[in-house]
A and B are shown apart, each in its own frame.
Chain A
């Protein structure tokens, strides 16, 4: 098979293949990926909402809490079961999840999410991300 301008075209194809196969090479030989294990509180079994809800909607909830507390002055959250909580990152969330590195960062690092909570809030134990 004769190719014309073969050198340049093959070079281009190699670059193409390298780019598209890079993820395979990057992860090659690594063990199967499993979702990170986060540190859960020892003495509390239930979060303010169900685990499934918190997994996918915590960012929305935190956003609402910020708006309610800071913009509307509303400081009480009533959950889907009718139980009340103080709207406060420091006093409610971080009471059970005091260690950012062992809790928040576990998933956020793997999903490359950079929430801007800590632009304003005091960084808890566990130091800076990473």
Chain B
């Protein structure tokens, strides 16, 4: 139900673009006005969201420690999972962001009910989520970087190289991109996982299905342009360069699929700052990952620490129990006589 609703929303977006740019021929709006506005919303929204997080203090150092602490010199510290210095924390974060290290730990709980036997709860390795996520994210990244061939003139050598390497399979003409397969494959597998795994299906919301369908829409419209419609790439480069250099001109004869693609990308850009897709910025700000486990070593300041909060004082304690303490022979600050 939530998945169907999300799919219909994405299809509605496709229809809007098809009608608007195809039937109604509003090329300037779809080629320039909408993407430009979307890009501005994305940039401003993204920065505002990060700033809104930055305005919140981090009162305590609460890293989740994933290994042996820094301790006695002869005990080997697990520096990447339990860092105690800035550089070690940097490595932990780099591994988290670049290799999805926490996800790589994933296990699956299985329970066997053997008749008459002892039931066993087991934890088996489950790296599928990690694999799908890696496929999807690196596929997506490569696709985005590769698109720079349309945004830069002359095309820098690294982008040219990336395009060549991505098409190295030399299958089909134009050659199929590995990143396209990773992106579409990864997103599809993540979607299937959401739909088929009962627990994941149970926790999924429209907020989860919609971006997946939207990204699949972006990827599929892009693939359609390249492999099926075989759009006029030089005309498209002229449009895109117009966006970048602020010279607006729309050459005739560009396939409607281009406008659909651009419209979906625009929707994605607008959606990012207001959604869970902000995890791309949030992962850097998670206090359980980006802080060293060093508060026993170095003083850390809580900006809203309230010095007025004091422990129940010893004086009040002794006042309450003085007689008993005296009787039990415990040392006193003030004898009952002194107190009186």
Contacts of B160 in A (CB 8 A): 112, 114
Report if B284 contacts A (CB, 8 A): yes
Mostly helix, strand, loop or mixed at chain B's interface? helix
A44 within 8 A of B: no
Query: A18 to B241, alpha carbons, bound, how many Å?
Result: 18
Nearest-CB residue, chain A, relative to B255: A56
Which residues on the A side are within 8 Å of B155 (C-beta)?
Answer: 109-112
State whether the Cβ of A124 lies closer than 8 Å to any Cβ in chain B. no
- Kindly state whether residue B148 has any CB partner on chain A within 8 Å: yes
Secondary structure of the A contact surface, majority rule: helix
**Which of B54, B244, B303 is A9 in contact with, Cβ under 8 Å?**
B54
B50 to chain A: which residues have CB within 8 Å?
Answer: 9, 12-13
Q: Contact at B245–A110, with CB atoms within 8 Å?
A: no
For A32, give its contact among B55, B150, B242 (CB under 8 Å): B242
Report A60-103 CB contacts with B as 1/0, cut-off 8 Å.
10110000000000000000000000000000000000000000
B245 touches A60 (CB 8 A): no
In the complex, chain B residues whose CB is within 8 Å of the CB of A35: 234-235, 237-238, 251
Question: Given contacts A57-B230, A113-B163, are A23 and B238 in contact (CB under 8 A)?
Answer: no
Residue from B51, B152, B174, B231 within 8 A of A23 (CB atoms): B152
Which chain B residues lie closer than 8 Å to A59 at the CB level?
A: 173-174
Q: B172 to chain A: which residues have CB within 8 Å?
A: 63
Nearest to B236 among chain A residues (CB) is: A111
Is the pair A17, B43 in contact by a Cβ cutoff of 8 Å? yes
A27 to B285, CA, bound (A): 33
Is the CB–CB distance between A112 and B149 below 8 Å? yes
Residues of B with C-beta under 8 A to A62? 173
Residues of chain A lying within 8 A (CB to CB) of residue B46: 16
Interface size counted on chain A using CB atoms at 8 A: 40
Q: B154 an interface residue at 8 Å Cβ cutoff? A: yes
Interface residues of B in 276-293 (CB under 8 A from A): 281, 284-285
Instruction: Decide yes or no: A56 and B149 within 8 Å by CB, A27-B241, A112-B155 being known contacts.
Output: no
Separation in Å of the B40 CB from the closest CB of chain A?
A: 11
Whether the Cβ atoms of B244 and A60 lie closer than 8 Å is no
Shortest distance between the CB of A14 and any CB in chain B (Å)? 10
> Whole-angstrom distance from the CB of B282 to the nearest CB of chain A?
12
Q: Is the CB of A114 within 8 A of B152?
A: no
Contacts A2-B55, A4-B54, A12-B284 given: A112-B159 contact, CB under 8 Å?
A: yes
For the complex with contacts A20-B43, A27-B151, A110-B237, 14 further pairs of A-B residues with Cβ separation under 8 Å are A1-B51, A3-B51, A4-B57, A4-B303, A13-B47, A16-B46, A23-B148, A35-B234, A36-B234, A56-B231, A59-B173, A111-B237, A112-B163, A113-B163
* Sample (6) of A-B pairs whose CB atoms are under 8 Å apart: A9-B53, A23-B152, A112-B163, A113-B174, A113-B233, A116-B170
